[in-house]
Structure 1
């Protein structure tokens, strides 16, 4: 069977979306006067919009396509990660956000200097920047590869459409433009998920009841084998532990998410940010898993519709292009672009915030408002160009096994960062010297288990976080601590 052409109407819908996103950046460009506007939106963002932005930022295009593919080929075990994100939000609100707002931070890593020293601030900030440049490249690369067979667009053109447009509207609109485009993109993602699921169910003989009956019959929800403990496989206990620490990293130590806590004008609005995100996380991801089950039911009844030797990783865009009406299919593909762009634009603005506040403004002569603002925009462009260039390199070199290897490095960078914030806020006796010992121990431990064991990469973040906290606690008496007055400002 040949894959259906994308079609003129679908292209019109897709490009109309891309132009619309660009116009949002242009609209908010007039409000960008200072670095404070560029990174904090002057506190003008309502809490619900910041919450939608957090949701859109954490849901990339790869997630949009890989979750249905995972449910189609396997089961729903990875759903547990979504709900662990909800469980940690009260901890974030009551223990972390008061510090971030009280200290009036732009870069979250400024806290680490106030609590420990400049070395910890630079370690965390540079780790974040390097990781997110790589993340931009990976998301763009994998999105281009996934869409290329279905939209008849050269992968380099897809990279251009995703990457360059992100650079332009982030450069123009700052965090305010990023958040309001995230709102559009988050709504598109949510509507697309529901629309796809409902559409598939109408095409399945027996409807929604048959979808869930067949999945239950084939043991595609939470099979008994997934409840077993394993050091190497991604079973439910491993996923619960791994996602707990991964979500802690994202919501307490990652600039792209934490930055949303400071764009509102009050802590009450920040609370709405977390509640809005929690509501979306509670409802929308379930539809992505349900889509996988619905696709399984549909193609079980219609196996002749799948091409021979088809890569099931692209099962969602394949269904969208081949089965959904013209125009609607274009809207869904636009939603996949949206998922990619929401993650990338957030990374660009956050990288810019880290460099401007943690390096440019921190060292050398004092910078004026215009210098900081100009630097922020320049860094946005440079980070975007580096990410796009890396993505082009990956396409040209035809890299494989990249996503798993890159994911395994999250623990190497994210675990120690999470541990530093946990150590700083909850361990009063900790100090700069013990924090450094903890980071060194964490990095060495993760490199060892990664290089010499088969331990599942979900444990890397756990090891990185706990090593910083434990070693930082044990070694604290060997180093000088801050005064009681200083500690009162930066510890729980």
Structure 2
């Protein structure tokens, strides 16, 4: 998998010019150390001084006494990962404004979660979202989805923490793997000892740092260019504000593939992913959860909008002297630190704030992921085979958190070899998130859906998208919108190459499903799940002991369904409702 500008070609351009670094002084180190120290201190506080009962409910859900606003902020922080901070502005810089529909889709995602998904979890007192799949379908469906969840995090966890380590290495010259070890150690420490309470409250602190940094970089960057109107003028002339409505499935980013995949991705990640569901159901009631999700949606849109805006500002700053084309930056993933250095690096404390922002984003995502991962692994794979006690469960989950941290350290050595982290991430989530969201919504919205249909749909989706990802690896190369080096000082160029001359030259080849843009993977995965599972729900006969319970359907579908209960006791209120309809 390659980035838009091949590193081997760039090596011929301005090879004598090293990538610039921040002047990272004691002030900046202090800012970063302060953020990391606060995170560790919160872990110490909740792990040793404000300990609740030694139970799994306390460790994983804070005793279901968490507060609305902290949970909302925690959700925002974990969605705004270091990957987002580092790669989204670079994506906007190279490929234009289409990615902003990832933000717009949140206007639809929050209502879907509030009225379709989350009520089902509260109505059934579900604390592990995969427990729903067992209640609705079978133990096999639950097992398949938990395996996919674990496998996805196995690949994603090292990326979460490696990205900020890469940024820090970029601006200081320190060895990226040593940084990785230190930061992983801090994250594992406060997650192990503090549990979900430490995760949430460190997220609150880290989110504040992220908001300050993202907004300051965008606003100060625009001021450096000449103001908002000048940013929009330059970006418009450079084609960065043009929305691509082309339905060509091979085009990297269009309105259609970004909006459709993002809607499914964020619905699945925020409402059907255990790391987020665990925090949502830690609130005392459904009304609290709904308010928290509304606040989350608002915060997500504001922060991600400024993050996207930074990419447009970045293009306006370098529109006539592309740092990649002249060799100042080796690849797109390193553009954001370079831009921050160039634009606000001279401002007291800003380099430290920016690096703290990137680490905050990574820590919030990583801590929530490994905390929930420990719970899923224990309850699904360990508890059935041991004599369970609450204390033993907590010890095992903490050990697993430690193992996950060690995996992140060694996994970072592999991530270091990737040339385009953004594309790798979307390929990984594309394999799993479409099927994950598809099977949950199938169970909640289709009363006739059953185990055989669900398993077939998920298997077909995973197999199809995984095959496309593997077979197309290295095949698809996406050229950015035209770049320029016309405004570069003469002493920055030692070649007559222009940006256009080092774009990929693609060979003519017949259209193939392997040309499918990675931005379609999530949407296509979801679609395959439903195209296979929906007809099979009516064609295949369900088992005689199939579970039917109206409470397992979404509230939006229940009024339209004549869903008789079988193989389980009917709740009294449902019996009365049926009697009234038949004899009232």
Q: 1:286-365 alignment to 2 at 5 Å?
A: 286-299=305-318, 308-311=327-330, 312-322=332-342, 323-361=345-383, 363-365=384-386
* Residues 1:179 and 2:200 are matched in the alignment: yes
Change in 2 beyond 3 A, CA 1:127/1:227: same
Change in 2 beyond 3 A, CA 1:173/1:417: same
Aligned partner of 1:27 in structure 2 is 45
Change in 2 beyond 3 A, CA 1:5/1:97: same
Aligned partner of 2:303 in structure 1 is 284
Higher Rg of the two aligned structures = 2
Alpha-carbon separation, structure 2, partners of 1:69 and 1:229: 23
* Residues 1:455 and 2:516 are matched in the alignment: yes
Structure 2 unaligned segments of length 5 or more: list them: 1-16, 472-512, 555-584
- The Cα of 1:5 is off from its aligned counterpart by 2.6
- The Cα of 1:484 is off from its aligned counterpart by 8.9
Q: Which range is displaced more, 45-54 or 441-450?
A: 441-450
Structure 1 unaligned segments of length 5 or more: list them: none
Alpha-carbon separation, structure 2, partners of 1:282 and 1:105: 28
Q: Which range is displaced more, 429-438 or 329-338?
A: 429-438
Q: What is the CA deviation profile of residues 348-369 of structure 1, one whole-angstrom value per residue up to 9, with x for unaligned ones?
A: 11111211222223x1355121
Q: Which range is displaced more, 46-55 or 97-106?
A: 97-106
Is the contact made by 2:127 and 2:277 (CA closer than 8 Å) also made in structure 1?
no
Change in 2 beyond 3 A, CA 1:201/1:403: closer
Aligned partner of 1:120 in structure 2 is 141
Alpha-carbon separation, structure 2, partners of 1:242 and 1:266: 30
RMSD after superposition: 2.5
Aligned partner of 1:271 in structure 2 is 290
* Residues 1:249 and 2:268 are matched in the alignment: yes
- Return the TM-score normalized by structure 2: 0.78
Alpha-carbon separation, structure 1, partners of 2:543 and 2:346: 63
Is the contact made by 2:107 and 2:297 (CA closer than 8 Å) also made in structure 1?
yes
- Return the TM-score normalized by structure 1: 0.92
- The Cα of 1:182 is off from its aligned counterpart by 0.9
Change in 2 beyond 3 A, CA 1:162/1:25: same
Q: Which range is displaced more, 341-350 or 404-413?
A: 404-413
- The Cα of 1:406 is off from its aligned counterpart by 4.4
* Residues 1:419 and 2:438 are matched in the alignment: yes
- The Cα of 1:411 is off from its aligned counterpart by 2.5
Change in 2 beyond 3 A, CA 1:292/1:459: closer
Alpha-carbon separation, structure 1, partners of 2:388 and 2:213: 45
- The Cα of 1:315 is off from its aligned counterpart by 2.9
Q: Secondary structure at the match of 2:385?
A: coil
Q: Secondary structure at the match of 2:129?
A: coil
Aligned partner of 1:216 in structure 2 is 236
Is the contact made by 1:100 and 1:108 (CA closer than 8 Å) also made in structure 2?
yes
Is the contact made by 1:40 and 1:175 (CA closer than 8 Å) also made in structure 2?
yes
Aligned partner of 2:449 in structure 1 is 430
- The Cα of 1:482 is off from its aligned counterpart by 6.7
Aligned partner of 1:446 in structure 2 is 465
Is the contact made by 1:106 and 1:357 (CA closer than 8 Å) also made in structure 2?
no
